[in-house]
Structure 1
Amino acid sequence: MNTSITRKLPIGIQTFEKIRQGEFLYVDKTALVWNIAMKSVPCFLSRPRRFGKSLLLSTFESYFNGRKDLFKGLAIEQLEHDWTIYPVLHLDLNAERYDAPEQLHAILSNYLTQWETIYGEGKDEITLSRRFAGVIQRAYEQTGRGVVVLVDEYDKPLLQAINNPELTENYRQTLKAFYGVLKSADRYLRFVFLTGVTKFSQVSVFSDLNQLNDISMDFSYATLCGITPNELTAVFEPEIHQMAQRNQSTEEEIVNEMIRQYDGYHFHPDGEGVLNPFSVLNAFDKLEFGNYWFQTGTPTFLVELLKKSDYDLRLLIDGIEAPASSFTEYRMNTDNPIPLIYQSGYLTIKEYDKEFRNYMLGFPNEEVKYGFLGFLLPFYTTLPGEERGFYIGKFVQELRQGNIDAFMTRLRAFFADFPYELNAQTERHYQVVFYLVFKLMGQFVDAEVRSATGRADAVVKTPKYIYVFEFKLDGSTEQALQQIDDRGYLIPYTADSRQLVKVGVNFNAEKRNIGEWKIKNE
């Protein structure tokens, strides 16, 4: 195999026509596209950002434009025989910045003007919704064929305004009326497909579009966006080989690392998992692993929701048990941040209890887990951003070297000059910071932090040492060490050949910081 030939990877390309004409690599999803198109039912698909939603809609557009030439050699070529041309109205709300009511009105009006140039204007069509209805009807009457409506990132205005209730309500009313046209114009429509990150509840945006079929968690379409492990090894074999050579690894090791870093997204409890396509393509392009998807967008609005709801982050980090109703739809009048976190791609389905119909949600992979934890840390500490990453590395080095005093002194710096009094809420704040620090250390060492009673506050395992930490709020270091003994926190590790180290720590409420600590070797 000649691995010197570099194939064209479609990084950032969201147009099906450009991919096919430019001979870029394409993971064939056209059998699923054809299957959805044949059912003619208005559909909605929720997927995280940069998961191929825009490319999917572009594929639908090329299909309904009868572009048989673009599908040569793909699965759909054997399924479709007519290649009928339909009028297509493709609305993309992804590119605009929505920070004022006129922004949404302007982009909708602009699209309507483009369509009216083709299909004409109506005399009494003044509002956006009436203009939309008029365009659909005229397109149907002039072509004699049902109209195809494709809406990309339908929820982008709502997500950008989520922390501005007045603006959110303005956008909600506008979109509710606009999308409601798709119900009244049903007789003129051949196909409707909307994509977005978030499924806003039926009482909100889609209340007038109640015939919409949400396929976001359908088993049949679990792999519609994303790359399955089988697709990874079949489609990207030359790239895997090249990356293995570059990193002096085996192809099997590269595939396993790809799966560890970028796999794990499940959109149905029994559906096949998929890898994040953006990260996979970037890793193959740069021939090294990195947090490519996470770095393309910071979920600031999610953190704001977490802070507003006073959600205990430790529950989020260790996995959440929830019925589907609590995470598949976001309701704007509640303080539950889980639906947005799940739909944005930071949580995914890990397990499903069929008897009680409960799901277990968790981080899909290493990239998301450590990217999300690292992103959260600035909101809970006073250290500058560049120092936080430095501190995590130093924490690990100091524990590997057995230098507990340096570790504890550095940990104390995370709480320096914290501006709030220690009450029930801020006590949780400190607990969360401890939690984040030890979880982030887990990238480099085997680190555990307590999520249930009957366990030490934290355990860290390095090649030479096993550390057991116990923190006491306004207690003594002796009490902390005694608790380690009394509750048998060391028992699971007594057979281990590594040095066991107990660390008792006092947390001083008055100083709002770590006080004394005491170290005892076993």
Structure 2
Amino acid sequence: MKYPIGIQNFEKIRKDGYVYVDKTALIYDLARNGSYYFLSRPRRFGKSLLLSTMAAYFSGRKDLFKGLAMEGLEKDWTVYPVLHLDLNTGRYDSEESLYHVLDDFLSKLEAVYGAFHSEVTLELRFKGLIERIAKKEGQRVVILVDEYDKPMLQAIDDDGLQEKFRNSLKAFYSVLKTQDEFIRFAFLTGVTKFGKVSVFSDLNNLVDISMDARYQTICGITGGELHRYFDEGIRHVVETNGLNDEDACRELEKRYDGYHFRQNGMGVYNPFSLLNTFATGEFGSYWFETGTPTFLVRLMQRDNFYLPELTDQQVSGDFLNSIDSVDRSPIPVMYQSGYLTIKDYDSRFKFYTLGFPNEEVEKGFTDFLLPYYTHINKGEGPMFIGNFVRALEQGRPEDFMRQMQTMFYDTDYKIVGDAELYFQNAFYLITKMLGFYTEVERTMANGRLDMVVKTKEYIYIFEFKYDKSADAALQQIDEKGYARPFAGDSRRIYKIGVNFSRTDRCIDGWKIEQ
């Protein structure tokens, strides 16, 4: 079986014999029932392939749809002129960079369909082209825009540049409304939605299907599709890893499933990670490793974000769907970028609960954040955590604490603002990483215990203090009876009191008792 990893061209997939998960019935439904659509999905989720499939359909390429649902649905196969703008191509680090990409797109069309001297702006050139193309070809045009928001995302921490991109694209996209009589169909995709009051404010005819129940699976792979198309890939995973079918499918689900794009919606697998796993037979962090969410880290550090709240976010639909809310929180862009997903929905009060979609994202994001909050270089996180886990599994809490102290050595230059919040975030990341290999319980509010780590032979109870003492921390464990729930457990129990110095910005002491 051939897996279309990194291949986004529908014609190439069909002609070269790659597996194709049939979404064409949904495309037919969109074309039949409307004209203007917007879809937000995370990167590498199949948006570009979706647009390529639409381009083939509207170009009348019936030969490419043999054996697919579209073959039995479409009877006319009308050929429309297709304008396909891909904003993936470009590094948007100046106002001119966006102009050059749009100018290149328009210039190539103008070489075929002509131009007028009065069309002096990008939007006027686009407007004139749509009309001329429709009249010359005798059919209304189809407009497909891939990653409409790429320029603004790349300028997310540059307010001035982002505003210039926003204004340019707002004017450019507004043509889709003014030239309605010459447009058969328009479809825009992106990672984020930049608010109804900004880029799309003039496009009140644009239907957002990002959370529409009918199209929730238009990108990604469902559980049913997993078995319908990829039994051979599952067998490869089974043979490579020495698993049975049930365990292999459970592991695939744990690592790559869990995306929900609406309340009470169907779970969707990350297609990029699945295809790579089937091709290699090996489980890996394929999706996470292809993109570096540095801008998300900058947003969280800018807002002094309390990381434990990442997996306990409750937000409204309007807040979730507008990237303009990033002025108040990094959560909308984290959801729309695929690092958080919908976990629950309160129908009474109309709010969503968010969390990590799966283990690949949770583990990858935690590992990525570690260098920003500890003295760990990029890529060294698994090695440090491995040493931590071995120390705890072997009953060496003193070694664990010495390694912990090393992690926080020389981190004061990274701390901006509240040192206590900084250390809370760092310990959150460490406990998350430990939790992938051990059993970890952790709460940090209302006087409850800070962290419990359980291994096969040991239980470790941690209490952290700030500008007090390790003795005070240990005393709280005893006074609050934190060890009491484990009195009947046969494992050896260690109580560990730890103190952080906000002045020295490091762990300045700990005390261990059995």
Q: TM-score, normalised by structure 2?
A: 0.97
* Count of aligned residue pairs for this structure pair: 514
* Structure 1 match to 2:190: 196
- SS, match of residue 203 in structure 1: helix
* Structure 2 match to 1:347: 340
* Structure 2 match to 1:30: 24
- SS, match of residue 342 in structure 1: helix
Please state how far the C-alpha of 1:496 moved relative to its aligned partner. Answer: 2.7
The answer on 1:222 being equivalent to 2:216 is yes
Tell me which of 388, 398, 402 is aligned to 1:409: 402
Please state how far the C-alpha of 1:386 moved relative to its aligned partner. Answer: 4.3
- Assess if the C-alpha contact under 8 Å between 2:130 and 2:179 holds in 1: yes
* Structure 1 match to 2:46: 52
Question: In the aligned structure 1, how far is the partner of 2:126 from the partner of 2:378?
Answer: 47
Question: In the aligned structure 1, how far is the partner of 2:417 from the partner of 2:16?
Answer: 59
Question: In the aligned structure 2, how far is the partner of 1:417 from the partner of 1:103?
Answer: 39
User: Any stretches of 5+ residues in structure 1 without a counterpart?
Assistant: 1-6
The answer on 1:247 being equivalent to 2:245 is no
Letter of the 2:337 counterpart? S
Question: In the aligned structure 2, how far is the partner of 1:444 from the partner of 1:421?
Answer: 28
Tell me which of 18, 24, 42 is aligned to 2:12: 18
- Assess if the C-alpha contact under 8 Å between 1:422 and 1:509 holds in 2: no
Question: In the aligned structure 2, how far is the partner of 1:188 from the partner of 1:402?
Answer: 73
* Structure 2 match to 1:459: 452
Question: In the aligned structure 2, how far is the partner of 1:89 from the partner of 1:214?
Answer: 20
- SS, match of residue 405 in structure 2: helix
Instruction: For 1:381-420, list aligned pairs within 5 A.
Output: 381-419=374-412
- Assess if the C-alpha contact under 8 Å between 2:326 and 2:333 holds in 1: no
Tell me which of 262, 284, 287 is aligned to 1:290: 284
Change (3 A) 1:31 1:491: farther
Instruction: For 1:66-465, list aligned pairs within 5 A.
Output: 66-316=60-310, 318-331=311-324, 334-419=327-412, 425-465=418-458
Please state how far the C-alpha of 1:480 moved relative to its aligned partner. Answer: 1.9
Please state how far the C-alpha of 1:518 moved relative to its aligned partner. Answer: 1.9
* Structure 2 match to 1:3: none
| CA displacement, residues 286-318 of structure 1 (integer Å, 9 cap, x when unaligned) | 1100000000010011111111122211211x3
Tell me which of 468, 473, 490 is aligned to 1:475: 468
- Assess if the C-alpha contact under 8 Å between 2:44 and 2:272 holds in 1: yes
Letter of the 2:118 counterpart? D
Question: In the aligned structure 2, how far is the partner of 1:26 from the partner of 1:274?
Answer: 16
The answer on 1:495 being equivalent to 2:495 is no
Please state how far the C-alpha of 1:107 moved relative to its aligned partner. Answer: 1.0
| Same amino acid, percent of matched pairs | 52
- Assess if the C-alpha contact under 8 Å between 2:440 and 2:452 holds in 1: yes
- Assess if the C-alpha contact under 8 Å between 1:44 and 1:216 holds in 2: yes
Please state how far the C-alpha of 1:333 moved relative to its aligned partner. Answer: 7.3
Letter of the 2:420 counterpart? E
- Assess if the C-alpha contact under 8 Å between 1:8 and 1:23 holds in 2: yes
Change (3 A) 1:387 1:16: closer
- SS, match of residue 42 in structure 2: coil
Q: TM-score, normalised by structure 1?
A: 0.95
Please state how far the C-alpha of 1:449 moved relative to its aligned partner. Answer: 2.4
Question: In the aligned structure 1, how far is the partner of 2:141 from the partner of 2:38?
Answer: 17
Question: In the aligned structure 2, how far is the partner of 1:411 from the partner of 1:142?
Answer: 70
Runs of 4+ in structure 1 deviating by more than 6 angstroms, as ranges, are 421-424
Question: In the aligned structure 1, how far is the partner of 2:353 from the partner of 2:63?
Answer: 44
User: Any stretches of 5+ residues in structure 2 without a counterpart?
Assistant: none
Deviates more, 1:149-158 or 1:118-127: 118-127
Please state how far the C-alpha of 1:213 moved relative to its aligned partner. Answer: 0.7
Question: In the aligned structure 2, how far is the partner of 1:458 from the partner of 1:266?
Answer: 30
Please state how far the C-alpha of 1:19 moved relative to its aligned partner. Answer: 0.4
